[in-house]
Amino acid sequence: MNRFKLNLTALTTILLLASPTIAIADARYDALPSEDQIEQETIEAAKDALNETESLATSISFAFDYLTTFMSEAHPPDFLTHAELKATTARLDGVRSILVIDKDGMIRHDAFSFPAPNINVAERQYFQGARSSSGLILGEGVIGRTSGVPFVPVSTYKPALNAVLTAIVDPGKLRRVLERCGRAREACGAAILTNTGKIVASSMPEVTIPQEIVDNILGAEDNSGTFVYERQNFKALVAFRKSERFPIVAFASHGIASNSVLATQ
């Protein structure tokens, strides 16, 4: 179960101690944002996160289409396929490698290494998900089997190749846009989820998300909206946006004072 704990008191303490604009010595402090300002900034953070992620996914999708045409029509030797995979990877910001995985889960080509490593990924969720879907799948963040480095798999099945193409995406690429709201407001965080509630990427590494938040987002009939998540001595405004093109959801949350009242939609 995903559990996401935001400690508003701790964040406020950090803000008071770290911000030079609130130094007691010169008696200066930043005005607290209004409720409307918090709501608007949180909505914008979710919108930006979704737009950036969709842009990356679209670029990867086009690259997959090109590679499929190249391999299925030209039937190049392995070394040329590797060279084209490597060149295509270099054109995709944030993508470390592209894998071509055969129907049995064996890695046939790897843009990072030639020849491809002798590894079977048939049990990996990103391979299974792509095999059972006709579209592009952004998977839950995972750890590389040989590298030990985390990555976000973006995959699709190509019938012309009878293979799954997977882009190995650096989580930092997605995290940069998710961290924007945190740089603007210390009590703000954001994440990208799959349409089943798994974490693709988040502004805080190893973050956990309360199941109640996930359920509220996934169960919403609208593709976007806001709601207040409340626990004892804690409140947060949550804004979400569901992608109409890919099976993902972006959301941002902002801690608010326990006595604040924010409109929900």
* pLDDT single digits (tens) 230-249: 887 778 899 999 999 999 99
Give DSSP secondary structure letters for 58-126: HHHHHHHHHHHHHHHHH---HHHHHHHHHHHHHTSTTEEEEEEEETTSBEEEETTBSSPP--B-TTSHH
From the number of C-beta atoms within 10 Å of its C-beta (0-12, 13-18, 19+), residue 236 rates as: buried
CATH top-level class for 55-172? Answer: alpha beta
Count of beta carbons in the 10 Å neighbourhood of residue 58: 13
> How far, in Å, CA of 76 to CA of 84, rounded?
10
Q: Do 8-31+180-256 and 55-172 fold alike per CATH? A: yes
Q: How many CA atoms lie within 13 A of 140 on its CB side?
A: 13
Provide the H-helix boundaries in the chain: 8-18, 35-74, 78-90, 125-131, 171-178, 180-184, 211-219
What is each CA distance from 113 to 82, 97, 158, in whole angstroms?
A: 8, 9, 22
Q: What is the pTM of this model?
A: 0.80
Our separate counts of H helices and E strands in the chain read 7, 11
Per-residue model confidence as pLDDT tens for the chain (265 residues): 444 444 443 333 223 223 333 233 333 334 566 778 888 889 999 999 999 999 999 999 999 999 999 999 999 999 999 999 999 999 999 999 999 999 999 999 999 999 999 999 999 999 999 998 889 999 998 888 777 788 999 999 999 999 999 999 999 898 888 887 666 566 678 999 999 999 999 987 777 888 999 999 999 999 999 999 888 777 889 999 999 999 999 999 988 765 444 333 3
What is each CA distance from 247 to 49, 82, 84, 105, 154, in whole angstroms?
A: 14, 29, 28, 23, 11
How is residue 210 written in tokens?
């309360």
| Category of 7 on φ-ψ map: left (φ > 0), alpha (ψ -120 to 50) or beta | beta
The confidence score (pLDDT) of residue 258 equals 54
Domain boundaries, the chain: 8-31+180-256, 55-172
CB neighbour burial string for 100-132, b if at least 16 within 10 angstroms, e if fewer: bbeeebbbbbbbbeeebeeeebeebbbbbbbbe
> How far, in Å, CA of 125 to CA of 141, rounded?
10
| Category of 105 on φ-ψ map: left (φ > 0), alpha (ψ -120 to 50) or beta | left
| Fold designation for 8-31+180-256 | Beta-Lactamase (3.30.450)
- Residues 6 or more apart whose CB falls under 8 angstroms from that of 15 comprise 22, 186, 187
How is residue 45 written in tokens?
């953070």
How is residue 263 written in tokens?
């409109």
